[in-house]
Chains A and B, each alone.
Chain A
Amino acid sequence: MLRMLKQIIRVGSLSETLAPSDQVEQLGEKLRESVRKRFAGSLTIRAVDAGSCNGCELEIHATNNAYYDIERFGVHFTASPRFADMLLVTGPVSINMRRALEMTYEAMPEPRLVVAMGDCAIDCGVFGRDNYAIAGAVRDIIPVDVQIHGCPPTPSDIIQGILAAVESR
């Protein structure tokens, strides 16, 4: 126990301010102040891999590490879509995941913010649209509010994309 405490003290606090991002692209209508108020400084996200290579997931994990610490922005990941404010979708939507993605989206309460994260989620990426196994990009399946470019996007871009989505409605 003492060793753990020593280690924690030795490492100290690592959280950094985020570098500016040019990878975030807002779709849909602009800022509705009420949304910001509705979330009361706290946002709950359900992440869905709709066909990713797992590279994007690794970077979502990284948003939780001590350097980026996404929780300091009031952002939490949840297991249930029932109380999720936002859907964070990665990967091209595979035909075998399409139904599960739609069901997750339908299970969410309004206003159902959706962030499409990564080049695959935006335009099917390296896997291509002309592919029997790909139903389409996320936008082809469910409405999307914000897109975050990158293969995969960096943790800092992901956090900024998420924050942008909160401001996009």
Chain B
Amino acid sequence: MSYPTNTWFAERLGDAGIRCDYLKGHRPAHMPCLEIMRLEWAHAAAEARRLDMRLVALWAAEAGPNDPGNAPLYAYMAFAHPEHRHVLLRTPVQTELPSICAHYIAACRMERHMQDMFGIRITDLPDDRPWIRHEHWPRDAYPLRSAFDAQRPLPHEDHGDYAFVRADSPGVYEIPVGPVHAGIIEPGHFRFLAVGEQILNMEARLGYVHKGIERAMQGRSAEDGLRLAARVSGDSTVAHAWAFAQAAEYAAGIEVPRRASFIRALLCERERIANHIGDIGAICNDAAFTFMLQQMHRLREQMARLNRRIFGHRLLMDSIRLGGVAQDIDTAAAAELAEQTERIAREVEDLRAIYADHPSIQERVVGSGTVSAADALDLGLLGYVGRASGHYPDERIEEAYPPYDEFKVAIPKGKLGDVATRVWVRFEEIAESSRLILAMLRALPEGAIHTDWQAPPAGISGFAAIEGWRGEVAAWIRLGEEGRVDRYFVRDPSVINWLGLELAVRTVPVPDFPLNNKSFNCSYSGNDL
């Protein structure tokens, strides 16, 4: 697949008087990387905002093997436009970089992450508290600087507590929750300010499951890196592995056989269905509707078992390999997959009728935790969270990477932005993913399931955006000597969607928080890296 160079944004920048150069060692051409001057950084972000582009991600990297060497670091940002795809911008950084929060509020945590990891000072940052860097980290530890000794656990130091948002009013009380939560879920801290039962403000403090993934990736072979990428967020293993593989394949100029891309999509749609099924059950359970939890978990288990039998892993880990997929499906397996997909879609519809007809759950979900369309657009909310609130980015449509260039994906377009709508979107997506799987199985092309992985010359970077079940997973990878990973950055959709949760629960009573939290089900691990 080769597309022409995407010149749309470069031309718009030119119109605004911002000079940019195409970075030669970056691929693919339809998602180019443009280099601009640091002075124009915030101006370029303002232009992107004016053009109704969505902020995809913001990150930094040390200069790569092919960079001129007049700057130690580069900052990157990626934007997407519904009709003009993705574009990356980068600029050399010495020590400081202006914040783009005035244009994109979702940039804030990513800028804090850059400060934490590189010691880059972001100027005009509205919230410059450390983010992933917890209070016990040594002051001068910047883990993504090559001078940093990353081999040993950081020593523990005492630097006080995180400065949570406080309220001085005597009627307001604080509820600290976590990092160890009541249920069997990932750890993180929520600080509520409440008046009576009503939440005034909820602040998430994350970073507890920070595993140094970005640094641990450096120096690994691409194959080994893929295994790690598949564990950025275990519930989204297909999406993350696909994003990593596709970014690497773009960088290497490798085209994946069509049959392999079909199987990748099939895996990804199964992951979407399984997670939506599990979440619908869990949401209902948080409103004491255990019947639905048990029914949904029964279906989820059936999917896990078939996954193991056909693809060798219940959660589909390591089913994607560089250049293709690890496991082919024969006619019998295809028939089994089709049979199960049809049956589960049907059963989910039956359960949906029960859910819709059950006032005790409906009363809890309808109107709870609303995010307005204006806020969803402002934050750039992704996946089902965006789709419930009038914001509909979907990379299967916008980026239309194979095999979605052959299939028209219908996305549910919600508007009300409450828990009920997020659940509705998930039900709709289960139906649509089932339809897609069946269509793909019918049209499954013959041929190889992988092609040989051949690393590109050192210094080449690639970028990919894959629509995982939570939304867009954006991955950027630069390969170094001997095809080893030189730098990997990934933005899980949760990085953005966590902001939506904070907004949503400002209108709900404390006991409805779990329900809302589940309806978002953001990843901690994917956020914390």
Chain A residues proximal to chain B, CB less than 8 Å: 3-4, 7-8, 11, 14, 47-62, 64-67, 77, 79, 91-92, 94-100, 104, 125-128, 130-136, 151-152, 154
Contact = CB atoms under 8 A, between A and B. Distances in A.
B446 interface: no
Given A3-B353, A65-B300, A132 B294 contact: no
Given A3-B357, A52-B186, A132-B148, A97 B278 contact: no
A51 B297 contact: no
B291 A4 contact: yes
Contacts of B210: 94-96, 133
B212 A11 contact: no
A20 B137 CA distance: 44
Nearest to A130: B151
A41 B102 CA distance: 60
A111 B215 CA distance: 38
Nearest to A98: B156
Contacts of A51: 208-209, 211
Contact of B297 (A62, A95, A104, A135): A62
B108 to A, nearest CB: 20
Nearest to B275: A58
Contact of B180 (A67, A91, A104): A104
Given A92-B211, A132-B151, A65 B314 contact: no
29 contacts: A7-B295, A7-B351, A7-B354, A14-B298, A49-B184, A54-B523, A55-B235, A55-B237, A55-B315, A55-B317, A57-B234, A62-B304, A65-B300, A66-B301, A95-B154, A96-B207, A96-B528, A98-B156, A125-B231, A126-B231, A127-B231, A130-B152, A131-B150, A132-B143, A132-B149, A132-B152, A132-B153, A132-B154, A132-B215
A47 B143 CA distance: 30
Given A3-B353, A7-B354, A56 B234 contact: yes
Interface string B173-197: 0000001101111110000000000
Contacts of A91: 209
Contacts of A126: 227-228, 231
B297 A66 contact: yes
B34 interface: no
B350 interface: yes
Nearest to A131: B212
Given A54-B523, A94-B210, A49 B187 contact: yes
Contacts, number: 161
Task: Tell me whether chain B's interface is mostly helix, strand or loop, or mixed.
Answer: loop
B211 A55 contact: no
A131 B216 contact: yes
Nearest to A92: B211
Among A55, A96, A104, A136, chain B packs the most CB atoms within 10 A around the CB of A96
B338 to A, nearest CB: 22
A152 B315 contact: yes
A70 to B, nearest CB: 11
Given A79-B183, A134-B212, A136-B153, A66 B298 contact: yes
Among B151, B182, B184, chain A packs the most CB atoms within 10 A around the CB of B184
Contacts of A98: 156
Interface string B346-357: 000011011001
Contacts of B524: 54
